[in-house]
């Protein structure tokens, strides 16, 4: 008896941990295996409808009716919902859902209104809303949807590629949704100057929001992750502001910011990861007083000429090996620094490393091009090693 009980408990544990990651067809296959599987599967709170399901709204609704306790629904091919009747039928079979994720939802001037009407009641109960690839035909419809959201329970909203999303919508969401922790708005190309004011927000994604110019107001005491990749028009002042004013920021990604020529990032108290790849116009970079910074990725900042790192005691290595235009590197008060790689395809780089008394070993400056020019290996012409060691000043 005990063996059977343990077996059943183990089966239920496995199903509850595996089913959320299976597409609906996989779950239906599990249901067909045995009565025990069927009971556990149909009691699962998570349902994910993959692309493999035939594009038939009536079949989808028939299947979902069997899941009486579902609270999380992810439809990867929301294009199968295309008419007024589809929206109403789908909304009626997920009465208890609090986590709704619809991918590739396509709305037009005819279906946009019916979608909002069909889901109005459900929107007010959601804790998580993700409309990945959604197309709202007008800003007015988007405003109506935001009005239906329950600001006291919504914790995460994702509107990937919502081209009608404007600053007023972002400001309204942040002002209304007091418990929001995740704001994911990549590829929303109408955003220009949204305010960033919220007490609990932890993650923001503005990647590919190519029209963003600035953040007029910034007050985000809990934000840990900020993604600004390919915000091509974002001002230097705004980037410097978020680093110095967000006390909990640990990860900043801003590759592809081509409007930046000179950048001074200072006082990133919690900043650990900084990614700057593809900032093609950046010529001067200064990073200072970032005590937790341990991962600095320069990638293809191909225009960078001057690099200065001050008082970043957690940074152990600096890789500038792909920056062919680099002229000078200055590293000071970086106690853990072990390697500085300045291998380039042009003239030798001027490197100054000023170690602190806390350093046990001297910092090694690696320049492979110098080795080829001076060493005795294949292709070399002299006797150098390509590795330089600095001494304490």
Task: Give pLDDT, residue 15.
Answer: 58
For residue 145, pLDDT beyond 80: yes
pLDDT tens per residue across span 304-348: 999 999 999 999 999 998 898 999 999 999 989 999 998 875 677
In a domain, 14, yes or no: yes
In total, how many domains does the chain have? 2
* Distance between CA atoms of residues 195 and 131, nearest Å: 22
Q: Decide: 145 and 136 in contact? Cβ < 8 Å.
A: yes
For residue 381, pLDDT beyond 70: no
Q: What's the count of helices (H) and strands (E) in the chain, helices before strands?
A: 10, 22
Task: Give pLDDT, residue 392.
Answer: 43
* Distance between CA atoms of residues 256 and 299, nearest Å: 10
In a domain, 351, yes or no: yes
pLDDT band at 108 (very low <50, low <70, confident <90, very high): confident
Helix axes 167-176, 139-148, angle to 10 degrees: 0
Task: Give pLDDT, residue 14.
Answer: 58
For residue 358, pLDDT beyond 70: no
In a domain, 371, yes or no: yes
What is the rounded radius of gyration, in angstroms, for the C-alpha atoms of the chain?
Answer: 27
In a domain, 183, yes or no: no
Which range has highest mean pLDDT (19-28, 88-97, 292-301, 375-384)?
292-301
Task: Give pLDDT, residue 133.
Answer: 84
pLDDT band at 13 (very low <50, low <70, confident <90, very high): low
CA distances to 335, 338, 357, 387 from 360, in Å: 9, 10, 8, 18
* Distance between CA atoms of residues 243 and 275, nearest Å: 13
In a domain, 376, yes or no: yes
* Distance between CA atoms of residues 339 and 333, nearest Å: 14
In a domain, 223, yes or no: no
pLDDT band at 7 (very low <50, low <70, confident <90, very high): low
Stretch among 12-21, 127-136, 208-217, 319-328 having the lowest mean pLDDT? 12-21
* Distance between CA atoms of residues 273 and 280, nearest Å: 20
Domain region containing 353: 305-393
pLDDT tens per residue across span 155-204: 999 999 998 999 999 999 999 999 999 999 999 999 999 999 999 999 99
In a domain, 377, yes or no: yes
CA 382 to chain CA centroid, nearest Å: 47
Task: Give pLDDT, residue 300.
Answer: 87
Which residues contact residue 334 at a Cβ distance below 8 angstroms, ignoring those fewer than 6 apart? 309, 310, 311, 312, 313, 315, 356
**Which pTM value belongs to this model?**
0.86
Task: Give pLDDT, residue 363.
Answer: 81
Q: What percent of the chain has pLDDT over 90?
A: 52
Task: Give pLDDT, residue 53.
Answer: 56
In a domain, 158, yes or no: no
pLDDT band at 100 (very low <50, low <70, confident <90, very high): very high
Q: Decide: 368 and 386 in contact? Cβ < 8 Å.
A: yes
Residue of 220 and 110 predicted with greater confidence: 220
Task: Give pLDDT, residue 391.
Answer: 40
pLDDT band at 389 (very low <50, low <70, confident <90, very high): very low
Task: Give pLDDT, residue 23.
Answer: 66
Task: Give pLDDT, residue 372.
Answer: 56
Residue of 56 and 199 predicted with greater confidence: 199
């Amino acid at each position: 008896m005990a063996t059977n009980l343990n077996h059943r408990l183990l089966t239920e544990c496995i199903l509850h941990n595996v089913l959320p990651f299976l597409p609906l067809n996989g779950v239906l296959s599990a249901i067909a295996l045995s009565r025990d599987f069927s009971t556990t599967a149909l009691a699962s709170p998570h349902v994910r409808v993959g692309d493999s399901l035939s594009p038939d709204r009536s079949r989808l609704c028939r299947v979902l009716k069997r899941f009486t306790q579902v609270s999380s629904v992810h439809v990867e091919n929301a294009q199968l919902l295309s008419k007024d009747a589809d929206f109403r039928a789908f909304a009626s079979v997920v009465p208890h859902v609090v986590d709704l994720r619809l991918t590739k939802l396509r709305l037009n001037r005819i279906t946009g209104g019916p979608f909002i009407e069909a889901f109005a009641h459900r929107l007010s109960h959601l804790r998580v809303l993700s409309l990945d690839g959604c197309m709202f035909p007008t800003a007015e419809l988007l405003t109506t949807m935001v009005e239906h959201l329950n600001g006291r329970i919504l914790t995460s909203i994702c509107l990937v590629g919502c081209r009608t999303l404007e600053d007023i919508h972002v400001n309204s969401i942040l002002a209304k949704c007091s418990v929001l922790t995740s704001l994911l708005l990549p590829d929303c190309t109408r955003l220009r100057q949204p305010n960033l004011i919220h007490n609990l927000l932890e993650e923001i994604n503005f990647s590919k929001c190519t029209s963003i110019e600035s953040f007029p107001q910034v007050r985000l005491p809990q934000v840990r992750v900020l993604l600004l990749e390919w915000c091509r028009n974002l001002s230097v002042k705004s980037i410097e502001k978020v680093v110095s004013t967000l006390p909990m920021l640990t990860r900043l990604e801003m590759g592809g910011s081509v409007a930046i020529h000179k950048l001074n990032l200072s006082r990133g108290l919690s900043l650990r990861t900084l990614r700057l790849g593809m900032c093609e116009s950046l010529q001067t970079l200064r990073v200072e007083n970032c005590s937790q910074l341990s991962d600095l990725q320069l990638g293809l900042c191909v225009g960078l000429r001057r690099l200065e790192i001050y008082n970043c005691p957690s940074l152990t290595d600096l890789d500038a090996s792909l920056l062919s235009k680099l002229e000078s590197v200055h590293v000071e008060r970086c106690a853990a620094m072990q390697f500085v790689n300045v291998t380039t395809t042009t003239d030798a780089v001027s490197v100054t490393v000023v170690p602190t008394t806390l350093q046990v070993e001297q910092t090694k400056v690696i320049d492979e091009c110098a080795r080829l020019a001076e060493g005795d290996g294949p292709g070399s012409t002299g006797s150098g090693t390509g590795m330089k060691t600095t001494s304490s000043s």
